[in-house]
Amino acid sequence: MFGTALIVFREVLEAALIVGIVAAATRGIAGRGRWIATGIAAGIAGSLLVAFGAQALSQLAAGMGQEVFNASILGIAVAMLAWHNIWMSAHGRELACHAQEVGGEIRNGSKALSVLLVVIAIAVLREGSETVLFLYGVALSGGAGRAAMVTGGALGLLGGVLVGWLLFAGLLRIPLKWFFSATSFLVLLLAAGMASQAARFLIQADMLPSLASPLWDTSGVISNSSMTGKALQGLLGYDARPAGMQIAFFLTALVVIWAGMGWARHRLPGNHPQTA
């Protein structure tokens, strides 16, 4: 039971951290609760599909279907997070003002939310499909352990959700003046980390050269299988033994999104009335 709880917790943790950041980053936008719930639900539905289509999926792309699929959805998530951050650079001040004045919410944020719905769905899908496969395997192999499996799975899920919630609650304590800068910074790291993980899958599929692998090895300090390693992997794509190509993807995403944010801040000043 404890083993099951631990594995489920590890899988849920990454998704929960991402949901926590997104939930905080969309503070002040009307109807975000419903959007986030929809994203989670879509992600769970997607995990079931991916888990039970695993055989078909892995045969695609000359046996590299899983890698291509993972790299593709990570790429989509990076694009969505980039769009969000650039949008926030233009509207962040507006959001902060509104949240301060009325404790209220702005109306025209549904575009930003639909983008983050996709990110949440992808995060839940990636970790969820592995959890489904794992639990399915346990259910198939051990008849007697089923009750223990359900309990373990639930405990793991609860633990993961709790950590995501703590991150969310912690972020909300940041003063409003700094709040959107802080969440934008986290989203920026999240996007760059996902770009690096996408590169890892393409290297695994032998579709990208690794460019010196590993570039360094910090697995003696923080291993990727430790809890800290898992959390850092979720937050910024931490890899104890990164390939040069992963670092190149990380830095490129970082610089491109950063430049986009700077551009948006100059071109679309958010403290002026918007004409949608």
Partner 1 sequence: MSRLALALVLSAATVAFAAEGEFNVTLEGHKFTPDRIEIPAGKKVKFFVENKDATPEEFESEALKIEKVIPGHGKATIYVGPLKAGEYKFVGEYNEKTAHGVVVAK
Query: Pattern of binders to partner 1 over 79-118, x per CB under 8 A?
Result: ----------------------------------------
Tell which residue, 120, 116, 140, 130, has the closest CA to residue 47.
130
Q: Judged by CB under 8 A, which of 68, 97, 161, 247 binds partner 1?
A: 68
Contact of 263 with 95, CB cutoff 8 Å: no
Q: Any contact of residue 54 with partner 1 (CB under 8 A)?
A: yes
14 sits near partner 1 (criterion: CB under 8 A): no
Categorise residue 268: left if φ over 0, alpha if ψ from -120 to 50, beta otherwise: beta
Q: Does 144 bind partner 1 (CB under 8 A)?
A: no
Selected binder of partner 1 within 108, 223, 228, 274 (CB under 8 A)? 223
- Record the tokens describing residue 149, joined without a space: 């499996």
Q: Is residue 212 within a helix (H) or strand (E), and if so which, with residue range?
A: none
With a CB cutoff of 8 Å and minimum separation 6, the contacts of 217 are 240, 241
Q: Which is nearer to partner 1, 187 or 202 (CB)?
A: 202
Report the C-alpha gap between 217 and 196 in whole angstroms.
16
- Give phi and psi for 212, each to the nearest 5: 70, 105
Check residue 136 for interaction with partner 1 (CB under 8 A).
yes
Binding region for partner 1 (CB under 8 A) out of 30-38, 62-70, 144-152, 266-274:
62-70
> Considering the rule CB under 8 A, would residue 151 count as an interface residue with partner 1?
no
Interacting stretch for partner 1, rule CB under 8 A, among 14-22, 131-139, 143-151, 266-274?
131-139
Site stretch for partner 1 (CB under 8 A), options 19-27, 38-46, 88-96, 212-220: 212-220
Beta partners for 106?
A: 29
Q: Decide if residue 241 touches partner 1 (CB under 8 A).
A: yes
CB 5 within 8 A of CB 12: no
The per-residue DSSP string of 85-124 comes to HHHHHHHHHHHHHHHHHTS--BSTTHHHHHHHHHHHHHHH
206 is an interface residue for partner 1 by CB under 8 A: yes
Binding site for partner 1 (CB under 8 A): 7, 54-55, 58, 60-68, 72, 130, 133-134, 136-138, 140-141, 200, 202-207, 213-214, 219, 223-225, 239-241, 243
